[in-house]
Amino acid sequence: MDTANVIPINVGHIQDVQELNKTKPTTIPERFVRDVTERPSTLDTTTTTDDIPIIDLSKLMNGNDPDDFHTEILNLTTACQEWGFFQVVNHGIDLSLLKSIEKVVKDFFMLPIEEKQKYPMKPGVVQGYGQAFVFSEDQKLDWCNMFALGVEPHFIRNPKLWPSKPADFNETLESYSREVRKLCQNLLKYIAVSVGLKGDVFEEMFGVAVQAVRMNYYPPCSRPDLVMGLSPHSDGSAITVLQQDKGSPVGLQIFKDNTWVPVQPITNALVLTNGRYRSVEHRAVVHRESDRLSIVTFYAPSYDIELEPIHDLVDENNPPKFRKYNNGEYSINYLSNKLQGKKNLDFARI
Ligand SMILES: O=C(O)CCC(=O)C(=O)O
Ligand SMILES: [Fe+2]
């Protein structure tokens, strides 16, 4: 996952936004101020959160009521086809575990900067504490601190980056990641079914799936209109599960029908289906007074897997839109470029 050894880069000084915020700056440093066309107000939203699809996983898992199952599969199809995104309820993960992970992650971000800097995200590397996806000195910075860790399989972990404080961080992240992994596997099963494939098609295709977590902390900003919490992008994973705290009333936004729609969710984003299901473009904005935390799990095929559109979804009327590619090469490409809308898909687009 680390690309530092391959590409020599100069990212300049990256200010820590929490520390910056503590100084109550009267003006926002230039490096965070977005060009007018990239500010949060562009293409602002009229759609409301109520429209965002909600999937009740228990209706799919229980299998008690065939009508419920069928309706929910149709909901899933619409969600993946038209949104590339949905919220999941009755997902089976203990609420106490969701609260515990939120607490340890928040406690981590509240540690003194010296403590957090024991786990630095080096330039061009995606694990550790800092800002990912920064590759040049003149690139604008996001109003966000990140802490990212590889979780599974074990060889992607950098044990030196797993923090010793708060004391129960590692154990909680392990339990949480186990549960989220099961959720990803279940969602992928029903996503396969929703597109007319066998439930285990992704599990077989993925090999030993890669799982990573990125924790994002967005402090308040006196000029939320000028900065971006997280630049617009779509994720590089097969499926993403996003948990966010109730901190700020604004935060995650998804791009739909040319507007940015705000969300309060657990979510996902998808590839592999020859464009039939799309991954949603999304971004995060920040708030004048409230902070916000998100915990994002990325679940993706093994790096050594060759991926291509599923044959059953390709025919003369639907020719392949993506070439066959190695997922490790795709991941390196994704992680060594700044976040830029859906540009990452150009890597494999025909
Ligand atoms: O904080 C959020 O809501 C968005 C996070 C996100 O999109 C990511 O980490 O990829
Ligand atoms: Fe994302």
- Write down the pLDDT at residue 274: 63
Question: Atom 10 of ligand 1 has which residue's CA nearest to it?
Answer: 235
Q: 179: Cβ–Cβ under 8 A, 6 or more apart, which residues?
A: 92, 93, 94, 97
- Write down the pLDDT at residue 3: 44
What DSSP letter does each residue of 62-91 carry, written as one string? H---HHHHHHHHHHHHHIIIIIS--EEES-
For 238-262, write each residue's pLDDT tens digit.
Answer: 899 999 887 777 889 999 888 888 8
Q: How far apart are CA 53 and CA 254, in angstroms?
A: 12
Helix (H, G, I), strand (E, B) or coil at 148: strand
Pocket probe for ligand 1: among 109, 260, 294, the residue whose CB has the most ligand atoms within 8 Å is: 294
**More confident position, 285 or 41:** 285
CATH number of 48-347: 2.60.120.330
For 289-311, write each residue's pLDDT tens digit.
Answer: 999 999 999 999 998 988 888 88
Average pLDDT of 272-300? 87
- Residue 288 pLDDT exceeds 70: yes
Question: Atom 3 of ligand 1 has which residue's CA nearest to it?
Answer: 252
For 128-153, write each residue's pLDDT tens digit.
Answer: 999 888 888 888 999 999 999 999 99
Ligand 1 site residues (CB inside 6 A) read: 214, 216, 230, 235, 242, 244, 251-252, 282, 284, 294, 296
What average pLDDT is seen over the chain?
A: 88
Q: Cis check for the bond before 153: say yes or no (omega within 30 of 0).
A: yes
Query: CB of 133 within 8 A of CB of 339?
Result: yes
Helix (H, G, I), strand (E, B) or coil at 330: helix
- Residue 235 pLDDT exceeds 80: yes
For 34-93, write each residue's pLDDT tens digit.
Answer: 999 999 885 555 555 668 899 999 999 987 889 999 999 999 999 999 999 898 999 999
Q: How far apart are CA 199 and CA 188, in angstroms?
A: 8
- Write down the pLDDT at residue 270: 57
- ipTM score: 0.99
Ligand 1 closest atom vs CA 298 = 10
How far are the Cα atoms of 8, 300, 307, 322, 349 from residue 203, in angstroms, in the given order?
Answer: 36, 10, 13, 20, 23
For 326-337, write each residue's pLDDT tens digit.
Answer: 888 888 888 777
pTM of the model as a whole: 0.91
- Write down the pLDDT at residue 2: 46
Q: Is 297 left (phi over 0), alpha (psi -120 to 50) or beta?
A: beta
Whole-number Å distance, alpha carbon 294 to ligand 1 midpoint, is 7
Of the listed ligands, the closest to the CA of 295 is 1
Confidence of residue 1 (pLDDT cuts 50, 70, 90): very low
Pocket probe for ligand 1: among 230, 235, 243, 280, the residue whose CB has the most ligand atoms within 8 Å is: 230
Share of the chain above pLDDT 70, in %: 92
How far are the Cα atoms of 85, 173, 218, 245, 265 from residue 98, in angstroms, in the given order?
Answer: 20, 10, 19, 10, 13
- Domain residue extents for the chain: 48-347
Ligand 1 closest atom vs CA 218 = 1
Of the listed ligands, the closest to the CA of 126 is 1
